[in-house]
Amino acid sequence: MAKMAAIRVGIGGWNFDEWRDNFYPKGLAKTRELAYASRQLNAIEINSTYHGTQKPSSFAKWRDETPDDFVFAVKANRFATNRRVLAEAGESVDKFLTSGLTELGAKLGPIVWQFATTKKFDAEDFEGFLNLLPTELDGLSLRHVLDVRHESFMCAEYLALARKHSAATVFTDSPNYPSFANLTGDFVYARLMNAAADQPLGYTDEVLDDWTAAVQTWAAGSQPAGLPSVEEAKPPAKKAREVFVFYINGAKERAPHAAMATLKRLGWKASVHSPK
């Protein structure tokens, strides 16, 4: 089994009505929800940053409320990615990156750049955008992951461009978006969005077993068999990769339970000091 330090499993956000008296204990104060969630899981994707600018003090507060080994992925502001010409996004990219997210310090994980479902792959424009993404800020290394949602990205030219810039590509099980498991970065980032409300864990035990096996295969450096991918003559060399998996969207009320079930299968244990 891959070392657990290389595998992160979590959810998107933490303040949702669907999780109260369900994932969160009855009577838990809303101000304690992040502290609780971060002790049942080992990663969270911050989604509020996609819709609006957050304050440095908010990032610092989130950092201080979570355990030392916890990691946040951060979804980039939509004004940087939802535009006709991506290469002209420099001002929006800079505004987002300097909004205070480095206050997370060592807890800062990958930055997710999500593109519109209508945004088609244009190699020149897309590389212009990738050139805007720094690899370091305020002394912290930055890792970028690309959530591309148009089938035109399923091509060898896109894979080569993402690898050139060491950017990972989101893998999803959603039937609504193109999905390909080709490895383009030094880490793997999966957003699992196909949970069903009629399943207590969002997925059947068999499917969760399969996702757990896929996570372990990714962490060991290989691409899991059976997942959709773009055909290529020479895939990247096998090497161990950190893996981030987020159960998000779908039947939202099931997401924390799917994440906890996956972590349990991986041998990870929740903190015994969960806040009340």
pLDDT, average across residues 51-72: 97
pLDDT, average across residues 73-98: 97
Between helices 255-265 and 205-220, what is the axis angle to 10°? 60
Question: How far is 137 from 131, CA to CA, in rounded Å?
Answer: 15
Amino acid 272: pLDDT = 54
Question: How far is 74 from 71, CA to CA, in rounded Å?
Answer: 10
- Report residue 26 CA to chain centroid gap: 28
Long-range contacts of 45-48 (CB under 8 A, 24+ apart): 45/10, 45/11, 45/12, 45/13, 45/72, 45/73, 45/74, 45/75, 45/112, 45/191, 45/246, 45/248, 46/13, 46/72, 46/73, 46/74, 46/75, 47/12, 47/13, 47/75, 48/13
142: pLDDT strictly greater than 70: yes
What does pTM read for this prediction?
A: 0.95
DSSP, res 52: S
Amino acid 5: pLDDT = 42
Least confident stretch, 24-33, 78-87, 157-166, 235-244 = 235-244
Amino acid 3: pLDDT = 44
Give 249's pLDDT tier (boundaries 50, 70, 90).
Answer: confident
Fold for 4-265, please state it: TIM Barrel (3.20.20)
Q: Residue 124 — φ and ψ, nearest 5°?
A: -65, -45
208: pLDDT strictly greater than 80: yes
Amino acid 74: pLDDT = 98
Amino acid 4: pLDDT = 38
Contacts of residue 137, Cβ cutoff 8 Å, sequence gap at least 6: 97, 98, 102
Give 157's pLDDT tier (boundaries 50, 70, 90).
Answer: very high
Question: How far is 162 from 121, CA to CA, in rounded Å?
Answer: 12
Q: How does strand 144-147 pair with strand 140-141?
A: unpaired
For all residues of the chain together, what is the average pLDDT?
Answer: 94
Q: Which residue has the higher pLDDT, 59 or 221?
A: 59
168: pLDDT strictly greater than 60: yes
